Amino acid sequence: MLPAHNVINLLARFMLCFLLANAYAATAAAELATTASTAAKSHPDQSGFHILDTGQEAFLYRAAMIDAAQSTIDAQYYIWNSDTSGVYLARRLLLAADRGVQVRVVLDDINLGGRDDVLALFAAHPNIDIRVYNPAPVRDGFGKWLSFLGDFDRLNRRMHNKSFIVDGAIGIIGGRNIGDEYFDEHATLNFRDRDVMAVGPIVDGFSANFEAFWESEWSRPVAELASEAASEAEYASRVAEARAQASDTAGLKLALPMGQDAGLEILAERIDKLVWAEADFIFEPPFTDPDEFPEELTAAAKALADAVRASESEVLIESAYFILDEAALANIRELNADPLRIAVLTNSLASNDVVPNHAGYARWRPEVLEHGFELFELRPDAEACTVWVAYEEFCADGDIGLHSKTAVFDRKVLYVGSFNANLRAMYLNGETVLLIRSPELAAEVAASIETGMTRANSWQVELDEDGDLQWQGQTQTLSSEPDTDWWLRTKAWMISLLPIEDYL
């Protein structure tokens, strides 16, 4: 038997270790928020920003934020795919919840595709809550789309917002959804996209946007939509399997941080290099009357209109979809009485992932040019693929598409958000607009947009002497949509005859 004084010493050492462990945990729990707030103290009335200009970087920082999280993760997305990257991030969220992080996810219903049951399984975790925004009454298959006919006005209002916020201290806002094609991980198609990581007071706006949709009467707990609740045995089995595979990076090109220390290290290094600037964040809150078709521009659209109005010389726009009618075109030109260069980079028919959206754009393309806009359409084989996508081997055979929603005003103010230059964003959708008053970041993104507008990366669309469309390439001028076959052109032309641009 140990002497009494030895027992006392052992107990004392045990208590000391226990107290030190708790002290370390308390320090770690505050580390991310402290790092962010400490950095912000040196920049009063400003927020810190980093442009996520490649899918690889966007994936890396989301993964690091999940692993570094100590108290909360709030994620809001239009699309969260169940592919390699989407499943990986979902499993990391599960591990975060296991260590006590409160995880909340709100997803738009339009792309859930019959995944209510598996989402409800995740949401059965005591620290995970998942809601579905504006759900259709029929949950799967063709019936889901038929339900739009009976409740079109309501179901036509979508949450297009994308936000990711950790510990209320660091957030990501922009155009990217969650999925392989947004993170340079897809084998055949990757998107040129852009979002912004931020710390400082602007993150409060990101959180207000999340809360507005989380608390909306149109957001329903996914458990209420699932076909049946999982049994305790099924829950235990499925969740145990997800935990066991949560560190499996098979199929991913990117080496990702694993664990709290690794995530914190990556984020602390980036926070130390942020660009600090004043900024405004605007979002369109959820609709209140499902039977009312809105006649006024959304708050997000008004904010961008004000930015055009304030511009003196140039507006550069990079938008996956560019769908305006005569009234919208006239209104944009009337916003600024002085001569104003408006140059637009958007998808070509060959690079567009949604043919109806291209058709809606093509319907008004001649009028866009007549209003003095410069138009550039992305080539799917753009040479800049090797800059935009982190893996050069992809660019040899894969196609690049445009998904970003960005604008630069007079090379002084930068817009990044979820807002495409289309009528749906202007009137119907929930959208986000981040306006950063930073000549440094504006110049950086302007240079990137102008790279996309070069002949190696896009076709410039013009009107010839007879008023017909022509596409200027590197070595030739074409009179029809480049890199497309007759059937794709025919489908786009037929759809363009329909006056449906208000819904695209």
DSSP string covering 230-253, please?
Answer: PPHHHHHHHHHHHHHTTT--TT-S
Least confident of 210-214, 240-244, 315-319, 375-379: 240-244
383 and 442 share one domain: yes
300 and 261 share one domain: no
* Residue 11 placed within a domain: no
The H-or-E segment that residue 469 falls in is strand 469-472
Residues 272-283: tens digit of each pLDDT: 999 999 999 999
**Running DSSP on this structure, what letter comes out for residue 133?**
E
Render 254-285 in DSSP notation, one character per residue: S----SHHHHHHHHHHHHTTPEEEEEEEEEPP
Give the pLDDT score at 148: 78
* Residue 342 placed within a domain: yes
Report the catalytic residues: 160, 162, 167, 403, 405, 410
Give the pLDDT score at 337: 64
Domain residues for 64? Answer: 32-38+46-271
Give the pLDDT score at 5: 47
Domain tally, the chain: 2
Residues 370-380: tens digit of each pLDDT: 988 999 999 99
Torsion of CA 302, 159, 367, 340, to 10 degrees: 40
* Cα 449 to Cα 192, 290, 314, 361, distances in angstroms: 11, 37, 13, 20
335 and 244 share one domain: no
257 and 300 share one domain: no
Between 31 and 293, the higher pLDDT residue? 31
224 and 349 share one domain: no
* Residue 23 placed within a domain: no
247 and 359 share one domain: no
428 and 461 share one domain: yes
Query: Tokens 């970003």 label which residue?
Result: 404
Report pTM. 0.92
265 and 300 share one domain: no
* Residue 25 placed within a domain: no
* Residue 87 placed within a domain: yes
Among residues 238, 271, 304, the one where a domain terminates is 271
Chain centroid to CA 444: how far?
20
* Residue 179 placed within a domain: yes
Residue 187 banded pLDDT, cuts 50, 70, 90 = very high
Residues 438-476: tens digit of each pLDDT: 999 999 999 999 999 999 999 999 999 999 999 999 999
Give the pLDDT score at 327: 81
Give the pLDDT score at 17: 38
Is the distance from CB of 161 to CB of 171 less than 8 angstroms?
Answer: no
203 and 66 share one domain: yes
* Residue 207 placed within a domain: yes
The H-or-E segment that residue 25 falls in is helix 4-41
Phi then psi for 120, rounded to 5 degrees?
Answer: -65, -35
* Cα 477 to Cα 407, 463, 473, distances in angstroms: 28, 12, 6
CATH of the domain at 472: 3.30.870.10
Residues 202-224: tens digit of each pLDDT: 999 999 999 999 999 999 999 99
* Residue 386 placed within a domain: yes
305 and 261 share one domain: no
